[in-house]
Each structure stands twice: as C-alpha cells, then as structure tokens.
Structure 1
Amino acid sequence: MIAAIPGGRSLIGFLGHMKPSQKIQKTVNYTNFSSPIGVSGDIDPLSSGTNAFQQLGFGFIEIGPIVLNEPITQIEPKEDKNHILFSTQQEKVPLKLAIQKLTTLNIRVPIMVKIDSYVTKSELSLIVHHLTPFVDAFIVTSEQFTSYLDKNTILMERPFYASCFTNKMNNEVLETLTNMPNLAGIVIHAPRHTSEEFWHEAGNANEHLIENVKTIKEQYPELTVITSGGVETPDEGYALIHAGVDLLLLTEGYVNTGPGLPKRIHERILYEKTPREHKANWYFSFLFGLAILIGGFIALYFAITSIILPYDESFIGLTRDELLLVNPLILSFMSHDRMALAGTMISAGILYIQLARHGIRANLHWSKVAFHSAAIIGFIGILLFIGYGYFDYLHGLFWLILLPIYYFSFKEGKKVVGFPSSSHGQNDKAWQYGIYGQLMFVMLGFLLVIGGFVISTIGISKVFVSTDISFICMPPQMIENISQNLIPVIAHDRAGFGSALVSVGLLVLMISLWGFRQGEGWIWNTLAIGALPAFIAGIGTHIYIGYTSFIHLLPVYLLVILYLIGLVLSYPFLKGKTKGSYSSINELSL
C-alpha cells in the first residue's frame, strides 16, 4: 500500500536503507543484478508486493508459476506452528494478469518468470512469446526443458533455466541438461516434506542445497546455479554463496525471519570480503556536535538563572523583576520551555558527536545521512523562531556560528560512502530480543518527531495548552494585557524547542533503523547517554517549577518507558560479545 502511493517507494527505501553495496553486484548471462538475493514467486505469486520488494534489498524478483488460463481451484498457503504450508494446488498466475502487472508496475530490477510445470508445449510457447518483452529470464522444469525447448518451436530471446529438486538432481539429469545447447543455468529447489495436500521445506534444506551445489560446481564450474529456498539466516545465505551459488531465491525463510534478511545476508557477504579499513574525515562533524552541546549548556545556564535576557526585556517592555511582581509563574513557565530546549540541545550534541566519532569516521554512509538530515531540519527550524513575530538574536548568532562549521562538515561528508558489514549470521535469542529493542527505539524516534511537530505547531499558533493556562493561572488575554509582546517571546521558545525535538527524534529514529548490528556497542551507548539530558530536563524542569500535571507529563513518561525497555532488550545484542565485525566497507567505486 505504501509503495503504491506517490513517494511511497522512496519512503520505504529511506526507512529500510537496504540498497545493496556495489561490491556484491554481479552480471549473470548478460543481466546485471544489484544483489544475488531474489524473492521467490512462492511468496508473492500474484506480484502484489513487487514495488515494495524492489526497495527491500532484492536484486531480482521471480513471478509465477505462470499458466495460460486461471485454474478453477487455487488454495492459498497456511501456517502451522513451525512452517508455512503450501498447497499442492497453490496459487498460479494467468498470463493476462502477469502481462497486466508487468506493464503497469514500475519495475527496476530483473524479473524471472517461473512457468507452471503442467503447461503444454504450445501453451509454454505462447506464454514465452507474450512475456519476452517484459522479463529477463524464464524458469521451466528440467522435464519441460529437455522435452519442449527446441530452437525451431520455442522463441529463445531470453535465458532459460531448468529447475529441479535436490533429490532429483543426479548425474544423469545433470549431464542431459548440460548437453542442451540452450541451457543458461539450473535452479535447484530445496527439498520438501509433503503431508496430505500440503508441503513445506525440509528441516535440513540448506545442507542438501550446499551439497548439491558443490557437486555441480566441481563437475561444471562455469554453469550458472540458482537455488530456491533453504535460507533462513545470514549464515545460510552466505554458505550457499561460498559454495558457488550465483543467485539465490528466498522463500519460507524470508517470511519467518523478516524483511531485513536480504540486508543481513549482504552484510554477511561483505564481512567475508576482507575489506580494507578506511577512515573518513570527521573533525568538522565532531565540532558541529560539540558546538551544539556547548550551546545547550549555555542555554541551560540562562534557563536556571536569569531566564530572560536584556533583549527579551526590551522587546517585552518589562524587566525580569517587573514580570516577577505581575506573576512569577510566567517566568517559571518560560524557564521550563528554555530548560527543555537546553536539554534537547545537549542530547542532540551527544548524538551528533557519536555519529561523527563512530559513524562518519568509520566511513558509514548511513551515519552521514542521519547526521545531515537532522542537521538540515534543525537549520530550517530557525524559521519557526520568527513564526510569531519575534526573532531571538542569540539563536540567530548561534546558527550563524554553526553555519560555516556545518558547511565544512557537509563537504567532508561527501566522501563518506561505505556500507556496513557484520559477522552476525544467526537468528539467536540475542538477535530476537534486539529486534524488539530496536522496535522500542524506532517507536521512540517516531514519537519524538511527532511530538516535536505538535509542539512547534502549538508554538506558532495558540501557544498554550489547557494545562499551561492552569499552571500560569492566567488566560492568554490577560497575558496580552500585561504586554502584547510577551506571548511572541513564549511562542518562539516553544517553537524552538519543538524544532530541536524533531531533530533529536530523527537522529534517534535513523540510528535505530540503520545502526543495529550485533556487537555495535557504540549504538547502545549513544542511545543510552544521548537521550538522558532530554529526559532529565523534560521531567526535572517540571518538578523544579512545580508544573507536575500528570496529563501534561504522561507523554514523557511513556517515552521513558519505551527508552528503558529498548535499552534492556537491545543490550545483549549490541553489547554482547561477537566474533568480530568490520565497521565499514570502503566504497570508493561509488
């Protein structure tokens, strides 16, 4: 659904950050594959998710099985406790629907078409004739290949692959196929366990596939080999690649493990390529984060001392002492917004520093994207300061100081193009808990972004919520009677805090989405330490001024709960021992 809306595919690509590294691209039978990992037609026979799959790290997509006309009986897969059960009368795609999909979808990866094993020779010829303009290869059974594929009767403008199950792939079949002049390669299906009208992959599928692949490659090292199924972990995917597989299709394992499996296999492959360590320039990025950190401490100092500065007093028309005589709660309220802003800036500074020190320095492209996306949003947020008619000169001066630092940071970041790698290859308990911990932080990041937008919107519109008015004990009309310029000053603080919160939320979100890998302890440290100042300031300032409305603070309490649960669940995965990992891959080819 998301992929179908304008900009949806870009959103999926941004959130997943699953684009494969150029180091794992390959060319097979004159077709370029951005990744050797594809998705089987068994998972999506009707091509409903083709648009989305292209953004989830797959280098090619299989559709089918294709038939000439839609069968009367088609049974969808079901699941039991441990497996996905596919019917022996599984879903099939009529030719007309396949053409409709291929002509309407914006397809950017190679498409392989699997033709149903029961089609006749004439039907196969018709299917091939109509689909050839839209696809890159065809997959037929080994029986169809040896019986039907005669140059005189079947159009062969695309590569044809013969498929067979591991238990049927013997020397006789292999010799027959390799003697066929039109063979582009073979597809080996994982062994199946059949029970009544349903089947599922056998438990030792990966081992059987590896054994078959090694045997075939020993006899025919130049033969293109594709496997289908038998992969549920990065280690299993890498084992097949290491055994000599050219391309592999994910089936049941992709559903069981989750949509991150292709990316995890990519990182596992990259880890074994023995990358050369590459350090990128990161000093200006570090300096940018340090400047924000220092700015946060300066803002915190003013928030707990004078609260308002001389130019604030000049704009309002009242001194600090005069405001205290009118209503001391007004200054307390202003202090709470400014302390919250200061705490958020300190958190942002820590996050930027960590991204620069551990991410950009290690040539990690995702860390550069996270760093600069949040920074640009932060700069745009200065416009909110004047949204209610008041420009804070100190804020303006601060951004002017930051601007040249950021310029050089952005310039040095252009060479940060590396892809991460990981040695983690199992779906163990630490990984499973880590996934839930990651979910907590992703939710935390999203909620911080949403909260920042809401606070900014309130800051440039009605300024106060009901609990604010109850705390100040004055409606906005009375505040305007004190000074017509008082509300704009309050509004600019609120809008500025909201803008800073959006930036921090984006940092937490992107670090959580893209940085979770086993043994990456700096990610855990970044999230654990980076969020503390914002939470301490957010809750502490309310306690400090006596603004302790439960309803008002409830969103913060919920965020703290997500934060603590995320830290606990992700600790074994991020901080646990690992056999080693490379932080980055030098991608000079980009």
Structure 2
Amino acid sequence: MPDWSYHTLFKPLLFRLPGRLARDLTLQAIGGLSRLPGGTFVIRTMGHMELSPLMESELAGVPLACPVGLSGKLDPQGTAHRALAQFGFGYIELGPVTVRPVVSTAPIERAVEEEAIVYPDGYENPGADAIAARLRKGTRHRLPHFVRLRPMPGSSPQAALEEQQELLAKLAPYAAGFFVDGLAEGWPSNETTAYLAEVRRLISTAAPGKPVLLYLPQPISLEELRHEDDTVRSFDGVVLGDAQPEPGSRRERVAGGSAALGVELHKVRALRQALGPGPAIVAGAAVHEPQDAMALLEAGASTVLLHSGLVYAGPGLPKRINEAIVHSRITSSSAHMQPSQPQGQLPPSPSFWANWGWMCLLGLGMIVGGILAWLIAMTSVLLPYDEAFLEKSRSEILRFKGHLLHFMSHDRITLAGTMISIGIFYHQLAKHGLRYGLHWARTAVISSCVVGFSSFFLYLGYGYLDPLHAGAAAVLLPMLLLTLRGLKDLPSRKPPGVRNDRIWLRAQWGQCCWVVMGFGLGIGGLTICFVGITDVFVSTDLTYLGLTSAELTAWSDKVIPLIAHDRAGFGGALFSLAVALTASALWGVNQGEGWLWHTFLWGGIPGFASGLLVHFHIGYTDFVHLLPVYAALLLYIAGLYLTYPYLVGRHKNPEGV
C-alpha cells in the first residue's frame, strides 16, 4: 500500500469506516499478503525501500538499520509486523505490555482536523502470554524489539513489581531492550522513584546487558523531570511518549501538528542539554512528515517513533524520512571531508564508457531502429525477405486483400513507436539514473532489458526468424552486458521532498495514474504476446480484414506465421516498455526530478502517436479495440498534469535537508 495508492484509493475508503475496523482490515490485508509465498517480495517491490549504510544508527547500544521505529500501539497484535518491517523501519516497539490482557471494544476515533487518533484505553494490549507466544513462533523479520513494560491499571507499586518480574520472565529472551513505564500511574513521587529503581534492577538481573530506557508520558513537564533527575540518569535513555491522556479517563490522544512538534522539540533540546551526548532520546510524538523527523533528530533525538503520522501521511513516511536522513548525512559528510567542495556536491559520476554510456547507446540504437522500422512500415511495409518467406509479392497481397497489407503496417508501426519509446526511457534512465548510481533506475533498466531480449524468442513461435530483428539484438546485447560492469548504488543527489503539502498530495494522484497505466500496458503486452502465439487474431481484427483465419491460410499458409511474428514482437516490446515505465512511476517520482517528467512526456509520445494515428490512417477505428489506448492516453495526460508542479516546479527545501 504505497502512498500513491493509499492517498488516492484506500485512505478515502478507510476513513469512512470506524477506526478500529479500518485498522484491523488494513493490518489483516498487508499481514496476510506478507504470509503468502513471495508476499514480502511484492511489498518490497512496490515500495523499493533500500536501506543504505548511511542510515545505520544505534539505540542505547543496539545496532539499527535506520533511526525510525514503529510505535507499538499501531499494531498491538503484531498482525502485520512482517509486512511493516519492509517499509523502512529500524526497530519495533512492543507495547504497552501488561501481565494480563487489557481488552477494549470501544471505538478508536479519528480527529481528522488535528490529524489525531483517540484510543479508548491507553492500557489496551493482548497481554504478555499472547505476545510471548507470538515471539516464540518467530516473527520472520530481523528488526529488534523494544518492549514497553507497564503495570496493570490500578496496580499498587508492590503489585506492579511482581507483575514486572513475570513480564521479564516471559519476554526478556525476545527483547533487544526495554522501555519502562510508571510515571503516569498516579503513585506518590517517592514510591514511583523506588519502583523505577527496582524495575531497573530487575531488568539488569533478568536481561543483563540489554538497554533500559525510561518512558516519559507526554504530560510530564521539564520542571517535573528536574525533580526526577537522578532517576532519569540511572537509565540508558528516555522515550518521550506520544499520547496525551484525557483527564478523568484512560482515553489517550495521539496527534501531530506544529504545536505538538514545538513541544516535542523543546523537550528534546532540553533533555539533550541536560543529559549530554551519551544517553539515548527517543522522540515518539508529532512526526507526520519527513521534516518533523529531521528537526527532532537535529535537535538531539537518537531515533523517532512513528504512530499517527503513519495513518495520516501514509505508509511511505518511513521511506521518505530515511531518504531525507541519507541526503542530509551524505551532504554533511561531503562538506566535512572536502571543505573546499560546495556542500551537497558529490564526487563526479563515472565516465561515459564505464557503464552507463553503453545503455545510453543502447537507447539511441532502439530509437534509430524504431525510426527505420516506422519508415519501412509507412512505405513498402514488407522487406524482401518477408516477401521471400511468403512467396507472395506486395502487389499480389494488394490484389488479394488491400486491408491485409494495411493490417500488417499497423502492427509494424505500433512496434516501431514502442521501440522509440523504449529507447527514450533507456537513454534517460541511463543518463540521469545509472550515471548517478540510483538503484531503482538500475532495476528498471535491467528488468526491462531482460524482458525485451527474452521476447525475441517469441518470434520463433511460428517458425519465422526475422534477420533484421536478430541482427539488431546481436548488436544491442553486448551494450547491455557492458552496462552491467561496475554498477554502484549511491544516494540520490536531489534533496527529497520533506513536506506533506498540496503539491505532494497532488503528485500522488499523478503517480497513481502512471502506475495504473504501466500495469495496464503490461497486461496489454502479455495479452498481445499470448494472442500472437495462439489465435493470432482477435475478433475485431478479422472483422476489419473481412476474412477468416481459414481463408487466409487457404490463400497462403505462411501469412499467419508472419503476422504472428509481428504480434508477438509488438507484445514483447510493449511489455518491456511497461516494465521500465511502471518501475519509473513506482520508484522514481521524487521532488525536483524534472528529467523523469520529461522522460514520460517524450517517451510516451511515439508510442501513443503510432498506436492511434495508424489506426485512423488505415480505417481500423473500432471503439472497443481502441478503448484500452484511449484509457491509457487519459492516464498518461493526467499523470503529466498532476505531477508537473512536484517534479518540474521550483521548490524550497528547509535548510540543511
């Protein structure tokens, strides 16, 4: 459920449902997908979250792949933890966990204007036994768990200590560290201090060497913390809670917004100044866009915990935060290591002949080949070796059925336009992607090339080998092999978008249009391939020709194999284009990437022009036959319109991001 589908399709539907039902449906859906064979691969593919070594961090000594955590309240049952682990998180909080289950069936409410979630019971959780049983079975992901230990509601300090002993006995083997709750239980200050000290001792005995952080409820003030200074310093760090309890009840409100962020930033700065550089600080509140996380990390937070921001900003939020972190770290490192080099300027890209230039040449070769194929298809249509295979001349075909030659030209012109579009995409992806080490661009190009070169074998389905296509493949294949030498993954040179503004939200709709178009073209390409190697014609084709397959075979038993070769070749090329286009739409849409917008613009024109103009030129204008082309064209234009401000327009990123 990437952002482009979440904000356009799923969020409007989910927000019409009761909060608890919407949460459960979402978690069950993505959790169920992750448990299917290949499910996690699909999730990773849709989001393409690549964790760079530059994101590596630590939380109180525990190594993390990135400094972004998942709040325990979002998925208390762990239904979708395996799926969520693919989103770009570095660790998962479990909890609050109490020794026995705390169940609530009251509604979970949404305050949309404040981007808040209101829970009916802040203690709600499945209990230690259920969580321990789930962890014992295995989570099938590698993220560390930090367990938030909380007393049962209404427990006395003495009873709570006994509960903590039981909790530790059940959960210590599975925890990378602990968050200790207790400051919000309403106990006298001296009893609270004694309780926290004793819990700290119990953990050091039950789980020696594992870090213990003190959980600070949101209402606690800095003045109150000063009275607990010795207690705070006895822990390995602190966790700033994200929930605001409602007076007189166990209801809790988790919200974002500038006011909540301002309070959180003030606390982080004050705590970092008071505690010094050593102890960890986890900022758990108010992260609803990448800039919120960046501000908290720059203020002194060690990590951030995502909660309500994931619901309102979308499941792509951790990835967007990680991209902002990588860009910030790479530019800071570059400026530090090379003081004379302007900040943000990365080392020069590899030379043209190192690898990426060969893909540029392959793309240019596809463009030139497509133009030549278009010129031939618009004039003679058939080459001499085609006529030799058919044992029929062009004039004989015209005398038999003029529409037959027009039909052949329509297949070949659409193939030529598709080749030109592929060439434009390859050239652009190489020049602006491979050249700068963008992993997603490499995946897009290589996947598309593998499909394209493999589709050559479809030409052989009816025993017809096209020497021109074979020669082109023989020339272009070495360029692909030379491209594969020494490719490296590097962070993007462009600063990522860090705001959930109107332009970003509009781009999600445009991205959705392009992705749907890409999948549609892929289905169309596979369908054409299948038709080309089986029935060859669809019903509208035969209606246009005014012939049956039997009549064509009776006239020449080689005409259908020739047409099948053209159809299979076009289907393979269309699918290859769809792979490059869909991958670019899924992974490449990032603020300021104007080259990608121009790639879609110029890369789409040849394909649509050839597909539409030739049909009208030869009079093959059946509406049902052309309906997929019309739909794809509308999605293409809508995508260009909606993404233009985000990709091409000028934007100001906050300083330092």
**What is the one-letter code of the residue matched to 1:150?**
R
Q: Tell me what 2:217 maps to.
A: 165
- Is residue 110 from structure 1 mapped to residue 165 from structure 2 by the alignment? no
CA contact (8 A) 2:108 2:118 kept: yes
Q: Secondary structure at the match of 1:280?
A: coil
Query: Displacement of 1:384 after TM fit?
Result: 1.1
After TM superposition, give the deviation of residue 362 of structure 1 in Å: 2.3
Per-residue CA deviations over 1:87-116 (Å, capped at 9, x if unaligned) read 125631222321232223202111112223
Q: How far did 1:151 drift?
A: 3.9
Alpha-carbon distance in 2 for matches of 1:443, 1:29:
44
Deviations 1:138-197 (A, max 9, x none): 212144533533349951333222101243143553564655786221100136263876
CA contact (8 A) 1:288 1:402 kept: yes
Pick from 115, 119, 128 the counterpart of residue 86 of structure 1. Answer: 119
Cα RMSD over matched residues?
2.2
Distance 1:178 1:11 in 2: 49
> Using the alignment, how far apart are the partners of 1:180 and 1:174 within structure 2?
9
**Contact preservation (8 Å) 1:68, 1:127:** yes
**Ranges in structure 1 where 5+ consecutive residues have no aligned partner:** 586-590
State the match for 2:265 in structure 1.
210
Judged with a 3 Å threshold, the aligned counterparts in structure 2 of structure 1 residues 375 and 581 are, in CA distance, closer, same or farther, namely farther
- The answer for the alignment partner of 1:388 in structure 2 is 462
Which SS does the other structure have where 2:462 is aligned? coil
Other-structure match for 1:426:
499
Shift of 1:433: 0.4
Name the CA distance, whole Å, in 2 between partners of 1:442 and 1:420: 24
Contact 2:218 2:244 in 1 (8 A): no
Quick one: which of 280, 289, 297 aligns to 1:233?
289
Q: State the shift of 1:382 in Å.
A: 0.8
C-alpha separation in 1, matches of 2:108 and 2:50: 30
User: What secondary structure sits across from 1:167 in the alignment?
Assistant: coil
Partners of 1:166 and 1:208 within 8 A in 2: no
Deviations for 1:346-374, whole angstroms, at most 9, x for unmatched residues? 00111111111111222222111111111
Amino acid at match of 1:183: F
What is the CA–CA distance in structure 2 between the aligned matches of 1:374 and 1:408, rounded to whole Å?
16
Aligned partner of 1:546: which letter? G
Match of 2:350 among 273, 280, 284: 280
Unpaired segments ≥5 residues, structure 2: 1-31, 184-194, 335-344
Check conservation: 1:165, 1:191, Cα contact below 8 A: yes
* Residue 538 (structure 1) aligned with residue 607 (structure 2): no
Matches of 2:121 and 2:323, distance apart in 1:
35
Q: Secondary structure at the match of 2:35?
A: coil
- 2:286 equivalent to 1:268: no
Q: CA deviation at 1:198?
A: 3.8
- Paired position in structure 1 for 2:12: none
Greater mean deviation of Cα atoms: 293-302 or 176-185: 176-185
The amino acid that maps onto 1:146 is A
Match runs of 1:135-154 below 5 Å: 135-143=175-183, 145-151=196-202
TM-aligned CA distance change 1:163 to 1:153, over 3 Å: closer
Letter in 2 for 1:385: Y
State whether residues 74 and 90 of structure 1, in contact with CA within 8 Å, keep that contact through their aligned partners in structure 2.
no
Contact kept? 1:86, 1:199, Cα under 8 Å = yes
Q: In the superposition, relative to structure 1, how do residues 318 and 13 fare at CA in structure 2: closer, same or farther (>3 Å)?
A: same
The equivalent of 2:474 in structure 1 is 400
Which AA in structure 2 matches 1:251? H
User: Once the two structures are superposed, what CA deviation does each residue of 1:515-554 show, in whole Å capped at 9, x if it has no partner?
Assistant: 1111211111111111111001011110111100000000
Could you say which residue in structure 2 is the equivalent of 1:569?
A: 642
Q: Structure 1's 152 and 332: CA in aligned 2 closer, same or farther, altered over 3 A?
A: closer
2:365 is matched with which residue? 291
CA distance in structure 1 between the aligned counterparts of 2:69 and 2:466, rounded to whole angstroms = 54
Aligned residues: 582
Q: 1:516 to 1:68 in 2, by over 3 A?
A: same
- Please say if 1:304 is aligned against 2:378: yes
Report the Cα distance in structure 2 between the residues aligned to 1:347 and 1:492, rounded to whole angstroms. Answer: 20
Change (3 A) 1:89 1:260: closer
Inter-CA distance 197–416: structure 2 relative to 1 (3 Å threshold): closer
Matched residue SS, 2:86: coil
Report whether the alignment pairs 1:326 with 2:326. no
Are positions 1:51 and 2:82 aligned together?
Answer: yes
CA distance in 2, matches of 1:577, 1:421: 13
Q: Which of 128, 135, 139 in structure 1 is aligned with 2:168?
A: 128
- After superposition, residues 360-509 of structure 1 pair within 5 angstroms as 360-412=434-486, 414-419=487-492, 421-509=494-582
Cα distance in 1, alignment partners of residues 212 and 105 from structure 2: 26
Which digits, 9 at most, give the CA deviation of each residue in 1:68-95, with x for residues without a partner? 3323534452324333221125631222
Distance 2:545 2:433 in 1: 44
1:516-527 to 2 correspondences below 5 Å = 516-527=589-600
- CA gap of 1:295–1:85, structure 2 versus 1, over 3 A, is same
Offset of 1:129 from its aligned partner? Answer: 1.7
Q: Is the 8 A contact 2:320 2:496 kept in 1?
A: no
Identity of counterpart residues, as a percentage?
A: 34
Distance 1:262 1:420, change over 3 A: farther
Partners of 2:496 and 2:549 in 1: how far apart?
Answer: 59
* Pair 1:346-2:420 in alignment: yes
Offset at residue 64 of structure 1 (A): 2.1
- 1:214 counterpart letter in structure 2: R
More off after superposition, 453-462 vs 113-122: 113-122
Measured against aligned partners, the alpha-carbon deviations of 1:421-466 in whole angstroms (never above 9, x if no partner) come to 5253211111110111111111111111111111111111111111
Q: How big is the shift at 1:131? A: 1.7
Give the Cα–Cα distance (whole angstroms) in 1 for the partners of residues 260 and 420 of structure 2: 52
The answer on whether the counterparts of 2:168 and 2:203 sit within 8 Å (CA) in structure 1 is no
Where 2:475 maps in the other structure, the secondary structure is: helix
Distance 2:263 2:214 in 1: 18
SS at match of 1:63: strand
Change (3 A) 1:352 1:4: same
Do the aligned residues in 1 keep the contact of 2:197 with 2:231 (CA within 8 Å)? no
Instruction: Give 1:588's aligned residue.
Output: none
Distance 1:194 1:184 in 2: 29
Query: Contact (CA 8 Å) 2:496, 2:590: kept in 1 or not?
Result: no
What letter is aligned with 2:138?
Answer: T
Deviation at 1:235, TM superposition (A): 0.8
Amino acid at match of 1:424: G
Task: Tell me the TM-score normalised to structure 1 length.
Answer: 0.94
